Every structure is written in structure tokens, then in C-alpha cells.
Structure 1
Amino acid sequence: MNDPETSAAGGPVASKAGRFSWAFFDWANQPYFTLITTFLFAPYFAAGFVGDAVKGQELWAYTQSMAGLAIAIGSPLLGAIADQTGARKPWLLMFSVIFIVGASLLWFAAPGASGSVGLIMGVAVAAALGMEFALVFYNAMLPTLVPEKEMGRLSGFGWGIGYVGGLLALFIVLGFLAGSKETGLTMLGFVPLLGLDPLMHEADRFTGPLAALWYTLFSLPMFLLTPDVPARRMAPLRAVQSGLRQLRNTFARLPSYKNIALFLVARMTYYDGLSAIFAFGGIYAAGTFGWEIQTLGIFGILLSLFAAFGAFLGGFADDRLGSRKTILLALTGLILGTLLSVSITADTVLFVIEVAPRAADDPIFGSVAEGFYLFGGVLIGLSGGPAQAASRTFLARLAPPEMMNEFFGLYALSGKATSFIAPLVIGLVTAAAGHQRAGLFVVLGFLFVGLLLLLPVREEVARPV
């Protein structure tokens, strides 16, 4: 009689429904990143709500910097506390509520309401904190669900269907909610649902409530069907005290886990660059080419299609080539795509080649510069999914099972510890140079240094030395 299959963490594996529901949580959360932080709301915040693309990029950079600093401080502590209390879902629920409230309030970013810039920046920070803290506990569930050999596929599948979810959310906005300022009709020729007024950018602003509603509905399968580890009875104050003590011990022992420490530093560096190019690529396009919601949305749909394909492909590559090689290949693609993107202005490509700027009667992406920018974006999309999915799997392969939550707290820290630095530097460089392009050169440094730091990392379960 065969022994029952065990998960990477040593317990029973989840049912197919439990695994799918866990991966489906990526479908639930991805529209936040697709609609708000990447393609629609962030460019609107810069060019529409603030009204000055350069100043808007600077302020959005400071918003992301504030959120990143808070996440960097809180994530490892929360991971350590969760190791004391056991169950992850109660924490997931609490931070989900914070995200839902913060994202919903983005509706109030009406054009011309300059007095509410601080309020909108504040709720954007709250939404980011709720989402990123929830992901600490979500990611830590992965090794409890499947055997080690299947983690790459499940992680890649989650990222893949997440991108598909983001793609569908974009399609809904463009096809049914976002009307053209000229015709008043959506991309599919309909009058916008809910009577959203394109002149008041109501579709841009509705992306916040839509992402919150989407998250609420599609996170339910994970809460209902995915198994959680048993809760431990522990008073909240004692859990905090034990978590702080465990966190101190983790940092003290981290030099004994040098391989994990090096991976976390590498991931901290390249993830900062990856997050920045996704966060500011749409803002740069809006300022450089004058793209508005429909063009940005189509750009987002194309990138999401390639990102979904890249994530699915990366999941199989992860299980066959290993997480480290998959990440290195993905980082190479990200560097090339970012280099191409920052080489482009409205009338130049590859830094020095002059091209005709976009004409008023050009079709969508009709100018040479826009075509090059689209190609760079596709390369970034193809590479971004595998880089993120394989990073999550890599830590699950490296971390000792008994310290999984703890190390995933540090994993979240490695994704956010310097994430406030890249947006801050982008904001400062943008302000100093007086144009958007200069700020994006920061991204290349983070990606390249992260790749170099990853080279000596070994793919093996960590043991103290």
C-alpha cells in the first residue's frame, strides 16, 4: 500500500478544489495591479487628476514609496506573528477588508479636486497595505497545499490565471464602462454602463470600486475551499510578543542561512525594478504619447495576454529547469524590454534614431515610436510573470518547512524593503530633470544588480551553517 502523498510542508496535500481555489485568489487580486497601479488609475492620477504628468508621476512615486516603507516594516513582523497563531485566513480576511475600503474610496479622485490629492494618496496607500499584507499570508499557504515537485506549476498557474483575470477586468472596463470623450461610446460601441461620464473620467475612477468588488467576489473560493493550518490558541498580546522574539531570532539566524539571505537580497533588488517598470510604464506612455483610458487599456490587454502566456510557460519551465534558471531568463527579458522602453520618446527610438511623431489621424499605436514601445512592453509582459511566479516557488523550495511563514514574511520584506527607494528616486529624478524619462533609468540599475546577485544562489533546501 502506497503512503499518502504529503505537501512540501509535510502535511496532507489539498484537494483539487482547494488547490484551484488558492490559485484563483490570484484571479481575485490581479485587477488591483492591472487596473489601479499599472494601466488605468495611476496614469489618470498623474495626467488627469493632478493634471501635470511630470508632477503627477512625482506624487504617485511618493505614494508608492510611503506604502513600500510601511510594508517593509510590517511584513516580516506579521509573518512571525502568524507562525505563532497558525492559521493564515483570519489575517487574510482582516487585510482584505482594509484593501476593499481603500480601493473603493479611489472613486473620489475627481478631476479638478486638487484639495483632495492628499486624501487620494492616503487611500491609495491603505489599499496597497491591505493587498500586500494579505499576500504575505496567501503566499505562505503554497507549500502546505502540494508536493514540492508541483509547487512551480501551481504557482505559475496562479500567476497565469491572475493575468487572465486582469485581462478580463480590462476588457470589461474598455468594452462596457469607458466611453470616448469624442463619441461617448465604449470600445465596443456601447453607451457606458452605469452612466459613467468620460469627461469626468468616471471610468478611470471606477477602477477602484471595481477592483474591490472583483476581489470580494472571487476571493470567496479560497476562503471557503482552500485548507488552512490549524489555529493555535494564543492571546493577541502574547502572539505579538512571541512574534517579535521569533523575528529577532530569525534576523539573528539569517547569517546561518546564507543561501536564503543572498536570494532575498537579490529578490529585493530585482523586484524593486520589476515593480517600478510596471507601476510607471503606463504613466510614462500617458505623458509621452498622450494615451488616454482606451489606448492604455488596449495596451494593458495586450501586455496581460503575453504576461499570462509567460506565467503559464514559466510554471512549466520552473519545474523542468528550476526556479533559479527561470528567474535568470526572465530578468534578462525584463532588462532588454526596459532598455528598449526608456530608449523611446515621442520622436526618437533607440535613443538616437529620429522618427515622425504621432499624427492626429494615425491609428492606435500607429507611430513608429509607439510600435517600439509596444514591443518593449510585450517583452516586459512575457518576462514579468515567470520572474514573479518562480521567485515565490524558489523561496518555497529553499525555506525549512518549520520556518515557512517566517521566511515568507522576509520574502514580502525583500519585495518591499527597498521598494520605497525606487519610487522615491524616480520621483526625485523626475522632479530634478523636469521630464519623465530620466526617472525610469533607475529601473535598469535595480534589474541588472538583482540579476548579478542571483547568480551565486544555489537551489537547495536551506540548512543552518
Structure 2
Amino acid sequence: MTASPTADVPQRTDRRALVSWALWDWGSAAFNAVVTTFVFSTYLASRAFVDPALVADTSAAGKALVERELAHNAAVVSTALTIAGIVVALVAPAIGRLADSSGHRRRSVLIATIGIALSIGGMVFVAPSQPYLLLGAALLGIGTVAYEIASVGYNAMLGQVATGEQTGRVSAIGWAAGYFGGIVLLVVLLVLCIQDFGGGDVAGLLRLPATVASGQWDVRVAIGIAAVWLAVSSIPLFVTVPEAAPDRSRTGSLLGAYVDLVRDVARLWRERRNVLAFLLASAVFRDGVGAVFTFGGIVAAQVFGFSASQVILFAIAANVVAGIATFLSGRLDDRFGSRAIIAVSLVGLAVCGIGVFAVGTVTAGFWVLGLTLALFVGPVQASSRAYLARLATPGREGELFGLYATTGRAASFLAPALFGVAVTIGGSTRYGILGVVVVLVAGLVLMAVVKREPRAVR
């Protein structure tokens, strides 16, 4: 007998399950904020992985060689993330579909979360030496694949912890929890590990000797703390939120999952083109939104002269703003619809991006416009997830969020590519902002053909 796909979906929002679900987002800040954005990826692309003899050479030729090595380090990191993106694009839809059909959605998230924690833990052993660069990049790629796979099942679980009329609100709570988790974790790491306060000397509870600071054990201890943070924060999800009911009507093999996937995409084209239109539009604008944080630290450092600790302080402030805005946007999403929130947020992001470009190198202008821009980052991400959750067939959310991950990865080259082109043409990192703005505007244009989502039946 085939179980009903909606048998385990609660009819009322379970607060205990909601908190447990949101805590995974809280813990995932260990990967988003620490690994991919502000600490580990920056560490890999830094002078820590350049031959010390070259760094010590202050001649023009020596500086040129250092810049070349730094570019090589950044290219290695970029290549690892590109390969990870290809892997995710290939496997995410099938894994999501298999999780739906087997009723092992929570298990898929658990296994992938263990993979994330282990990859972060392995980063502790990446010493600041050239031979360790490839190891660090490989761990970054593995962690990215694990994180994206975990996100497929995790996003699909939204329907298990929220009723239809509260989908937008609950999705926003999860995203806000991620931002606030990032705030707390970054503050902890800034106080305990990161020593650079613009040349100042601030005591921390885990004060590190000067011989192991500055890109060595300060970063590696921070990474170790992040791994524990993720592991502990994830536990409630696996204890509290039940498995979804299996959908026995779906194929249970990996090969069969891909065959069914092709058929379903063709069916979506025939019967639900709005879903495909949204997947395309969201792939573009999500790449632009992701680039806001990915390149925000680079712009802050290279254009506005922020030190490493100042970049983290800005990140903390931006996360505070984004977290509050995302939490408040949930009610607006349920009131006006996800599509409206996405459109308004994209307009706000584009306008603020142009403003950051226009202020030149005025630091105060970057702070004001950068924090204003942060108002719109969270809402567009949370509403995008809520929009798709409202369109998903009950019991088959995993396959749709698998496609969501795949399309997002398929377009992940856009913002980095246009950022690089704009920098090359303009001759300054500041021009890269315009490249990101172009991607955001393109996503907004594509959203114009996407229909408003159906309202929930109360």
C-alpha cells in the first residue's frame, strides 16, 4: 500500500519542530560565513600560501611575482568551487528525488551534514604552506558539495514544519536564524582568534601567541570552532523533525531517478512552464545575490581599504541588518506574496549597488549603502525558497529543490564572470560592482514573466 505523501506533514506549525529546523540554518553559518566567505577561502587566497622568500622581496619584480602567486591561489580556489558546482548540478536532483521516494529525506540531510562537519574539521590541518593549498581547495570543494546536497533535503523539509499560509514566515525565520548564527559565530571568532584589529591589540579568552597568529593557528582554531558549531547546532533537527512519508510511486534507483527527472522536466515544460520560468529567473538572481557577499569583502578591502578585522566587523553589522530584515519580511511575504518581495528586493539591491559604485572610495558611503543593501539580501533568498515550496507537489519537494540547486549551480558562473570582465574593462575592482548589478537586473527582468504564486487555502 502506498503511503500518502502528506501523511507526516503537520497541519499546524509545530513550534518545537520549527526551532529545531531553523537551528540547522543557524549552524550552517559555520560554512557560509566562516568557510566560503570571510575566513577560510580568504585564507587560501592569501599570502600565507606564497613562498616566504617572494613575500620578503620588496623589489618591483618580487611584488609582481607575489601578485602572480596570489592570482594562482585564487584560481585554485575558483577551480575547486567550479568542480563542486558541476558535481552538485549532476547529483542534486537525483538525490532529492531518491530521498522523496524512499522517505529518507532527513537521513540524506544527516549524512550530508556529517560530510560538511568532517570537511570543515579537515581544514584545521591545512597549514599555511604551498603544498597544503590543494588540500585546502579540495576540502572546500567537498564541503560545498555536501552543503548543497544537505540544503536540498533541508529546504524540502520546509513543508514538514510549516502550513501553507505560514510558509513565507517560516522560511524567513530560517534565513534570519542563519544570519544571526553568523553574527554570533563571527563575534566569537573575532574575539577568540582573529588578532588583526587595524593594528590594535585586543585580548581574547583564547589569546594566541604571536608565533602562531597571523594566518596560522588563528585561522585554523577558528575553523575548528566552526566545525563544532555546525555539528552541535544540527542535532535538534535530526531528533525532533520526523521523516517525510515515502512516495512508493517513484523510482527507487539512481539511474531510474535520472530517467524520471528527464521526463518530469519535459512534463514541467508542457504543463507547468511557470515553474521552469521561476527556476531560470531564480538561478540568475540568486547568483547575483550570492555575489553581493562573496565580493563584498573584496570590494571593502581593495576599494575602501578595510583591514581583515574591519571586514569581519562590517560582515557582522551586515548580518544584523539582514537578519532583522529577513525576519520581518516573512509576514510581508505571507501578506503580499513571495514574487512581490523578490521583485522589490532585487530593485533595492540594484539601486544600492549602483550607489556603492558611485560613492567612489568614501568609506562612510560604503557603510551606509552597504548596510542598506543588506536589507534586501535575506528577504529575496527567503522568499525565493517560500515561492518554490508553495509550487511543490506535496511529498515531492525534494526533487523540485534538487532542480533548484541544479539550476542555481548552472548559472553560478555569471556574477563571477561579469565581475571579472567589469574589473578588466574598468581597470579597478570598484567596476566589478557593476557586473554584479547587471546580473541582478537580468534576474529582475526574468521575474517579470513569472506568475504570482497561488495563495494558500486557509
TM-score range, shorter chain: 0.7 to 0.9
Separation in 2, partners of 1:8, 1:329: 36
Counterpart residue number, 2:257: 243
**Per-residue deviation, 1:306:** 0.3
State the alpha-carbon separation in 1 of the partners of residues 198 and 213 from structure 2: 9
Query: Which residue does the alignment assign to 1:148?
Result: 164
Q: Percent identity?
A: 30
Kindly provide the amino acid, as one letter, of the partner of residue 262 in structure 1.
A
Contact 1:7-1:147 within 8 A present in 2 as well: no
Distance 1:135 1:37, change over 3 A: same
Partner secondary structure for residue 199 of structure 1: coil
Q: Which of 94, 99, 118 pairs up with 2:134?
A: 118
* Within-5 A mapping of 1:41-80: 41-50=40-49, 52=67, 56-80=73-97
Q: Distance in 2 between matches of 1:11 and 1:456?
A: 33
* Amino acid in structure 2 at the alignment position of 1:83: D
Q: Which residue of 2 aligns with 1:172?
A: 188
- Equivalent position to 2:119, from 86, 102, 106: 102
Q: 69, 75, 87: which is aligned to 2:104? A: 87
CA distance in 1, matches of 2:299, 2:391: 37
Structure 2 counterpart SS, 1:419: coil
Where structure 2 has 5 or more consecutive residues not aligned to the other structure, the ranges are: 51-66
CA 1:181–1:141 in structure 2 vs 1: closer, same or farther (change >3 Å)? Answer: closer
Q: Does 1:18 align with 2:34?
A: no
- For residues 427 and 354 of structure 2, what CA distance do their matches in structure 1 show? 20
Tell me if structure 1 keeps the 8 A contact 2:116–2:146: yes
Q: Which residue of 2 aligns with 1:38?
A: 37
Q: Distance in 1 between matches of 2:423 and 2:141?
A: 21
Instruction: Establish whether residue 394 from structure 1 lines up as the match of residue 411 from structure 2.
Output: no
Aligned to 1:364: none
1:253 lines up with 2:267 in the alignment? yes
Task: Write the distance in 2 (CA, Å) between the matches of 1:102 and 1:399.
Answer: 31
**AA matched with 1:116:** Y
Instruction: Provide the rounded CA distance (Å) in 1 between the counterparts of 2:141 and 2:432.
Output: 21
**Superposition deviation, residue 283 in structure 1:** 2.2
CA contact 2:198–2:309 (8 Å) conserved in 1 = no
**Match for residue 446 of structure 1 among 434, 439, 450:** 439
Partner of 2:57: none
1:217 maps to 232
Please say if residues 46 and 283 of structure 1, whose CA atoms lie closer than 8 Å, have aligned partners that are also in contact: no
Please point out which of 408, 412, 427 is paired with 1:415. Answer: 408
> Does residue 332 in structure 1 map to residue 347 in structure 2?
yes
CA distance in structure 2 between the partners assigned to 1:121 and 1:25 by the alignment: 24
- For residues 194-220 of structure 1, the C-alpha deviation after alignment (integer angstroms, 9 at most, x for no partner) is 658333443333343222211100000
> What does residue 354 of structure 1 align with?
none
Equivalent-residue separation in structure 1 for 2:25 and 2:86 (angstroms): 24
User: Under a length normalisation based on structure 2, what TM-score does the superposition of the two structures give?
Assistant: 0.85
Normalised to the residue count of structure 1, the TM-score between the two structures is: 0.84
SS in 2 for 1:219: helix
Assess, with a 3 A threshold, how the Cα gap between structure 1 residues 450 and 127 changes in structure 2: closer, same or farther: same
Return closer, same or farther for 1:194/1:226 CA change in 2, 3 Å cut-off.
farther
**Given the alignment, which residue of 284, 292, 296 partners 2:311?**
296
What is the aligned partner in structure 1 of residue 297 from structure 2?
282
CA separation of 1:139/1:375 partners in 2, compared to 1, >3 Å: closer, same or farther? same
- Whole-angstrom distance in 2 between the partners of 1:213 and 1:252: 43
Q: Is the 8 A contact 2:49 2:133 kept in 1?
A: yes
Give the Cα separation in 1 of the matches to 2:125 and 2:81: 19
In the TM superposition, what are the counterparts of 1:365-384 in structure 2 within 5 Å? 369-384=362-377
Kindly state the Cα deviation for residue 99 of structure 1 after the two structures are TM-superposed: 1.1
Alignment partner, residue 152 of structure 2: 136
Determine helix, strand or coil for the equivalent of 2:259: helix
The 1:461–1:406 alpha-carbon spacing in structure 2 relative to 1, beyond 3 Å, is farther
Q: Structure 1, residues 188-247: CA drift from partner, whole Å, max 9, x if none?
A: x33644658333443333343222211100000111011221357999x94213312221
Q: CA deviation at 1:266?
A: 0.5
Q: How many Å separate the matches in 1 of 2:243 and 2:13? A: 10
Q: Say if 1:91 and 1:134, in contact at 8 Å, map to a contact too.
A: yes
Matched with 2:26 is 27
Which secondary structure does the structure 2 equivalent of 1:325 belong to?
Answer: helix
Distance 2:428 2:412 in 1: 21
Partner Cα separation in structure 1 for residue 194 and residue 367 of structure 2: 22
Question: Separation in 1 of the partners of 2:402 and 2:152?
Answer: 6
Q: Give 1:285 deviation, angstroms.
A: 2.1
Q: Does the aligned pair in 2 maintain the 1:170–1:297 contact within 8 Å?
A: yes
How far off its partner does 1:299 sit?
A: 0.8
- Specify the code of the residue in structure 1 equivalent to 2:174: G
Aligned mates of 2:449, 2:7 — CA distance in 1: 24
> Aligned partners of 1:278 and 1:455: how far apart in 2?
25
Deviations 1:34-68 (CA, angstroms, capped at 9, x unpaired): 12222233333334435646555544433333322
In structure 2, distance between residues paired with 1:110 and 1:337? 39
Instruction: Give the Cα separation in 2 of the matches to 1:276 and 1:33.
Output: 13
Q: CA deviation at 1:77?
A: 1.9
- 3-state SS, counterpart of residue 456 of structure 1: coil
**1:13 Cα offset (Å):** 4.1
| 1:42 partner letter | S
Asked if the contact 1:399–1:461 (Cα under 8 Å) also holds between the matched residues in 2, the reply is no
Q: Report the equivalent of 1:457.
A: 450
Q: Which range moved further: 453-462 or 406-415?
A: 453-462
Distance in 2 between residues matched to 1:261 and 1:29, nearest whole Å? 28
Q: Distance in 2 between matches of 1:315 and 1:148?
A: 13
Q: Give a deviation string over 1:239-297, Cα, whole Å, max 9, x none.
A: 21331222121111121211111111100010011112211211232233443332111
Which residue number in structure 1 is paired with residue 176 of structure 2? 160
Unpaired stretches in structure 1, ≥5 consecutive residues: 1-5, 350-368
Rounded to whole Å, the distance in 1 between the matches of 2:74 and 2:137 is 12
Supply the distance in 2 between the matched residues of 1:24 and 1:70 (Cα, whole angstroms): 27
CA RMSD, Structure 1 to Structure 2 (Å): 3.0
